[in-house]
Amino acid sequence: MPTISIYHKDFEQLVGREVTIEDIETWLSLVKGELKDHTPATGEIRVELQDSNRPDLWGIEGIARQIRMALSDAMPSSYAFFSSRARPKRRVMVSAGMEQVRPFLAAACASGYAVTADGLTQLIQAQEKLADIFGRKRSTISIGLYRLEAIQFPVTYGLVQPHAASFVPLGFEEKLTLQDILSVHPKGMEYGHILEGQESLPLLWDKEGQVLSFPPIINSRDVGQVQVGDSQLLIEVTGTDLRMVILALNIFAVNLADRGATIDPVEVLYPYATEFGKTIRMPFDFSSPQRVPLHAIESALGLPLGTDVIKQALTAYGYEVKASRHQLSVRLPPYRNDLLHAVDVAEDVAISRGYESFAPEMPVQFTVGSLSPLEETSDLIRDYMVGCGFQEMFSNILMAREDLVDRMKLTDPNEGHVVEVDNVMSQHYSCLRSWIIPSLLQIESASNRAFYPHRLFEVGEVAIPDLSQELGSQTLVRLGALVANPAANFSEVHTYLDLLLYYFVRPYTLEPMQHHSFMPGRVGKILSQERTLGFIGELHPEVLEAWQISMPVAVFELDVGELTREG
Amino acid sequence: MNTASLYDSLHPLEVQVLAALSQSGEARSDDALAQTCQLDLSQISMAVGWLSAKALLCVESETRTVTVVLTEIGETYAMDGAPLEWIVDSIKSATQSATPISVKDLQTNERFQPTEISRAIGVLKKELAIRLVAGGYLELTGVSSPTLQSLKRLLHQLRATTQDLQEFQEFEQQILRQFSVKRGNTHEPFRFEEHIERRYALTDEGKTVGGLCQSSPIEEVSQLTPEMLKDGSWRDKRFRKYTINLSPPRVASGRRHPYRAFLDLVKRRLVGMGFQEMRGPLVETEFWDMDALFMPQFHPARDIHDVYFVKNPSHADHIPEPFLSHVSEAHEHGGSTGSTGWGYQYDRDRARRLVLRSQGTAVSARTLASNPDVPGKYFSIARCFRYDQVDATHATDFFQVEGIVLGNDIHFRTLLGLLTLFAKEMAQARESRFLPAYFPFTEPSVELHVRHPQLGWMELGGAGLLRPEVTNPLGVTVPVIAWGLGLDRMAMVALGVHDIRDLFSSDLEKVRNMRGTF
């Protein structure tokens, strides 16, 4: 989740008092934030925010707001512009057809606050983080900021042909058509895929026909570049999810209001129906009161706090609360939209009161601990192998196809089936191992200088492709054992296998088999009670050559599940 | 050290030497001892060295003898004649054939170096055996050269045997010195070899110990054998005491993998706290890996850049009901969970998409859906995969230790209680701190920080109460704790490993050398 920069002085101004870095570190628990870095020289503090459902906290204003409320223990700021009844004088008209492309838009104006350098940094940071993470790289929401003076209302949000409109985008000196922007502008190349397959493209223009921006790609250089000192702004959000679009606008509106701006609402007129009607006055408070039974909170927290305490805690956390004896009616502030269930309210109560105020209590109900039968068998086998002088190894199980198949001489189409990754990052880690022996050979190959003899084993998981299984593969636990020394041979590993199966009371026979990884005539299937337990053999010199191993190697591999008692 | 224990500590070679000296009663040389004891000179020299160090034996006399031997040059001189002889012969035959010979003529030969020739001419002239005549030619005077005569005889004599320098007459010794190898001139026929003969005698203590050696009828041996035990002959033998503080030879042992041993300890502790182990498949559906955990399908961590997708088959056959429907409802509108849900169109095909398990909690999700015990505690140590660049802090695959606790007495404070127990059992930490955290499947969520005795404050894990949107659709109606512990850092510090990849090292020597206490 996002890591953002906040600045100490700016933070003090927003909180309204002097604060130390230790204060900030303590308060960050209120916002699920973690202090990552602090540079006293510049006052920069890097903070990581954990909660992916609280984009209001992904900026200094939101963090400061949450702390301010906790400090004053008071009702949150009311942000009167949400409730004013006057019809806004500025309007944005949404054209028909937008519902097929990028249906929603929210906008508001801010005035009376001359943007400071710190303020501008935070505006840009919030714009980036919200569009990138909350808006999933601009696909669900994107945000534009404009100099209000240069714009003549009403503004139109409509569709145009890719070649029919042109304007000077940010970062360029000359006019480009929308088509050109998509093919040459860095942002067009980065985000153009969002509009893929659209015959006409979204555009925002004013009464004079002046282009504001080409959402969600790029703003106009002329009106869409806010600078320090600007005191009249237009904020606009477009996207595919109306609630997310409005929430992002609300967050910008309260952030600017916290810095002293007056928010002037904008009326957005849709030609089609939306969840909140065809005409929406933005910013728009869509939160509705939720009824939460008192016991839901008390039983989740394990403490009979009572409605008064809970009401106080929630109020200090930004909620609007009405309480009766057994019931609470809670309403989130308009910059939040993360109340899915009563448990969300319970957590906010706990955070507001501080986790340290809850006395830990040991769960007392009696339970019986145990290992799975598979794990118990694995442990018995591991003990046995260690007793026989084998060094246990532990390998990564994501491997290269080359190691599992090619180097093992299993290139015949009927052999060498492995579970493969589709979105490969590196060929070295593109398949799940289907047997243990390649892992042990990888070690042998890297350890020719290690003191001999080498006796290695691993008990570990493998994935066997099997289309008859629900998941297309089966996860098995296998024992792989390897001996390497100048005289290593079938008989040596057979000794260990024979004794192991004796102790597990598994009478067995070896049946010659064909396996290209092994020397012909020196490999066999391990059979017991008509089931195949595994195989044993001397590795083929070609396999050893492929691994650049210059010692004879003999191995066996056993299915641990087959040796496990039915649970 | 007293005499008896001194005697006990003796090596068999030492015993033999002491016995020999004690028996003869007088000083003996190395050679004499070698003969008496029937040992090699090198064995005698070792024994003498050890005995001198123990002050049981001292050097009584030291005789320095010099013997003369022929060098390779000497051998050729003896066989084909020395330069002196050759010059006289050459002048003689030149005179006979009436072709006078000059110094220069003599020097241009193939047998000797010019310096050898010059030196020989010098000796012959000095002894008046030759002279220089007009035209730079040489002729014999008829006088014989004593050096030439003696040298000839000495070469002949030494060819057969080496001899002490002292045994030669004074003038012979002079000649031998003159023609012997010296520093800076190795091109000579003779070499002197210095030999120091030491005679060893017993010290007073040596006499006492030597007496024991002589009188002791017990044979000393180093290894007890089955035969000795069978026939009881060990009773007549003395077993040499060892120098026990030498480094032993190396052995390739059998041993558990140290990181695995750490995880075994974790496993044991969890079982001790009443947890049952659960297991799950490496390949999972998105349903169990994420959907069942109420992570919306649009969640940013579900991107192609976060999770490994399986190529073939790309989708599971089906997702079992009623779980699929219940989970789908919870995502869309909350279903019967009391939640509003995420409010989006749930994609049932996407639920079947196969991935490599990205979080251990997937194992817990499957357990919740399989009619778990209530009350019940479960854990898994699950191999997980993340789409990360591999580096010192990211392995290709790694283990997550996680689990669930179900019960009617489960709530936020018992969650904190459980975490306090983990802090004590898993990190021996007496102090712990709880911070608000965010996980998509828990609410409230907690991060557990503990003060580790060695590492100081560290994050030990995360936990929370599972959301009803997770438990209800899987058929669980009691509150459930979900927890996960991050133990790798503790293991790495204990094992002295700085790179997480080393926990899965392919280097056998590295694994053999890795050790630590947990």
Helices (H), A355-514: 373-387, 401, 437-446, 490-503
* Residues B499 and B514 sit within 8 Å (Cβ to Cβ): no
- CB contact under 8 Å between B443 and A442, yes or no, is no
What pLDDT was estimated at residue B140? 85
Which of chain A's residues have a Cβ under 8 Å away from the Cβ of B465? Answer: 300, 343
Query: What separation in angstroms does the CA of B144 have from each of A417, B98, B107, B118?
Result: 102, 22, 22, 18
Poorest-pLDDT segment among A124-128, A266-270, B37-41: B37-41
Average pLDDT of span A439-447:
96
CA-based nearest residue to B497, from B487, B510, B507, B486: B510
- CB contact under 8 Å between A429 and B390, yes or no, is yes
What pLDDT was estimated at residue A201? 94
Which of chain B's residues have a Cβ under 8 Å away from the Cβ of A452? Answer: 252
pLDDT over threshold 80, residue A471:
yes
What pLDDT was estimated at residue B331? 97
Q: Please tell me the distance from the alpha carbon of residue A548 to that of residue B111, in angstroms, as a whole number.
A: 58
Q: Please tell me the distance from the alpha carbon of residue A41 to that of residue A137, in angstroms, as a whole number.
A: 33
Output DSSP code: residue A130.
I
Residue range(s) in chain A whose domain bears CATH number 3.30.56.10: 3-71, 290-354
pLDDT over threshold 90, residue A413:
no
Residue range(s) in chain A whose domain bears CATH number 3.30.930.10: 373-566
What pLDDT was estimated at residue B224? 92
Residues forming a β-bridge with A214 = A218
What pLDDT was estimated at residue B101? 85
The whole-angstrom distance between B399's CA and the closest CA on chain A is 10
pLDDT over threshold 80, residue B176:
yes
- Which chain A residue has the Cα nearest residue B318? A470
Q: Please tell me the distance from the alpha carbon of residue B392 to that of residue B432, in angstroms, as a whole number.
A: 28
pLDDT over threshold 90, residue B127:
no
Q: B315-336 as b/e, with b when 16 or more CB fall inside 10 Å?
A: bbeebeeebbebbbbbbeebbe
Residue A107's H or E segment, with its range, is strand A104-111
Name, in order, each residue with C-beta under 8 angstroms of A82's C-beta and a sequence gap of 6 or more.
A250, A283, A284, A285, A334
Q: Which pLDDT tens digit goes with each residue over A548-564?
A: 999 999 999 999 999 99
Which of chain B's residues have a Cβ under 8 Å away from the Cβ of A422? Answer: 308-311, 314
Mean pLDDT of chain B: 89
Could you say which architecture CATH assigns to the domain A290-354? Answer: 2-Layer Sandwich (3.30)
What pLDDT was estimated at residue B288? 97
Q: Please tell me the distance from the alpha carbon of residue A156 to that of residue B256, in angstroms, as a whole number.
A: 71
Which of chain A's residues have a Cβ under 8 Å away from the Cβ of B319? Answer: none
Instruction: Tell me the domains of chain B and their CATH numbers.
Output: 72-158+173-184 (1.10.10.10), 259-512 (3.30.930.10)
Interchain contact A137–B (C-beta under 8 A): no
Best residue in B319, B355, B443, B513 to probe A by mutation, most A CBs within 10 Å? B443
Q: 3.50.40.10, 3.30.565.60, 3.40.50.2020, 3.40.50.11260: which CATH number matches A80-282?
A: 3.50.40.10
What pLDDT was estimated at residue B119? 84
Query: What separation in angstroms does the CA of B453 have from each of A260, B450, B490?
Result: 49, 9, 11
- CB contact under 8 Å between B509 and A447, yes or no, is yes
pLDDT over threshold 60, residue B332:
yes
Tokens of B220: 């000393």
pLDDT over threshold 70, residue B217:
no
The whole-angstrom distance between B82's CA and the closest CA on chain A is 59
Count CB-CB contacts under 10 A for residue B128.
12
- CB contact under 8 Å between B509 and A450, yes or no, is yes
Average pLDDT of span B444-461:
90
The pTM of the full predicted model, rounded to 2 decimals, is 0.80
Interchain contact A30–B (C-beta under 8 A): yes
Tokens of B243: 């120098």
- CB contact under 8 Å between B281 and A472, yes or no, is no
Model ipTM value: 0.92
pLDDT over threshold 50, residue A567:
no
Interchain contact A330–B (C-beta under 8 A): no
Interchain contact A395–B (C-beta under 8 A): yes
CA-based nearest residue to B122, from B173, B80, B75, B83: B83
The whole-angstrom distance between A161's CA and the closest CA on chain B is 30
Q: How many CB pairs under 8 A join A and B?
A: 282
* Residues A231 and A217 sit within 8 Å (Cβ to Cβ): no
A159 vs B91: which has the higher pLDDT? A159
pLDDT over threshold 70, residue B276:
yes
At position A247, the amino acid (one-letter code) is L
Q: Quick one: pLDDT band at residue B212, thresholds 50, 70, 90?
A: confident
- Please give the share of chain B, as a percent, with pLDDT higher than 90: 42
What pLDDT was estimated at residue B218? 63
* Residues A433 and A439 sit within 8 Å (Cβ to Cβ): yes
Q: Please tell me the distance from the alpha carbon of residue A6 to that of residue A27, in angstroms, as a whole number.
A: 14
Q: Assign A567 to helix, strand or coil.
A: coil
Interchain contact A366–B (C-beta under 8 A): yes
Looking at the domain that runs over A3-71, which CATH code has it been given?
Answer: 3.30.56.10
Residue B219's H or E segment, with its range, is strand B219-221
Helices (H), A388-489: 401, 437-446
pLDDT over threshold 90, residue B125:
no
Comparing CB atoms, the residue among B340, B444, B506 nearest residue A347 is: B444
Q: Which pLDDT tens digit goes with each residue over B97-119?
A: 888 888 888 888 778 888 888 88
pLDDT over threshold 80, residue A76:
no
pLDDT over threshold 90, residue B300:
no
Q: Quick one: pLDDT band at residue A251, thresholds 50, 70, 90?
A: very high
CA-based nearest residue to A369, from B366, B378, B74: B378
Q: Quick one: pLDDT band at residue A182, thresholds 50, 70, 90?
A: very high
Q: Assign A46 to helix, strand or coil.
A: strand
Q: Please tell me the distance from the alpha carbon of residue B444 to that of residue B437, in angstroms, as a whole number.
A: 8
* Residues A456 and A444 sit within 8 Å (Cβ to Cβ): yes
At position B321, the amino acid (one-letter code) is E
Tokens of A16: 């309204």
Q: Assign B257 to helix, strand or coil.
A: coil
Q: Quick one: pLDDT band at residue A75, thresholds 50, 70, 90?
A: low
Average pLDDT of span A317-344:
93
Average pLDDT of span A510-528:
96
Average pLDDT of span A471-490:
96
B300 vs A520: which has the higher pLDDT? A520
- CB contact under 8 Å between B339 and A422, yes or no, is no
B454 φψ region: left (φ > 0), alpha (ψ -120 to 50), beta (else): alpha
Interchain contact A346–B (C-beta under 8 A): yes
Q: Which pLDDT tens digit goes with each residue over A444-462?
A: 999 999 999 999 999 999 9
CATH T-level fold of A373-566: BirA Bifunctional Protein; domain 2 (3.30.930)
Residue range(s) in chain A whose domain bears CATH number 3.50.40.10: 80-282
Q: Assign A312 to helix, strand or coil.
A: helix
Query: What separation in angstroms does the CA of B273 have from each of A365, B390, B425?
Result: 11, 34, 9
**E strands within A411-498?**
419-420, 431-432, 454-465, 473-484
Q: Which pLDDT tens digit goes with each residue over A87-127?
A: 999 999 999 999 999 999 999 999 999 999 999 999 999 99
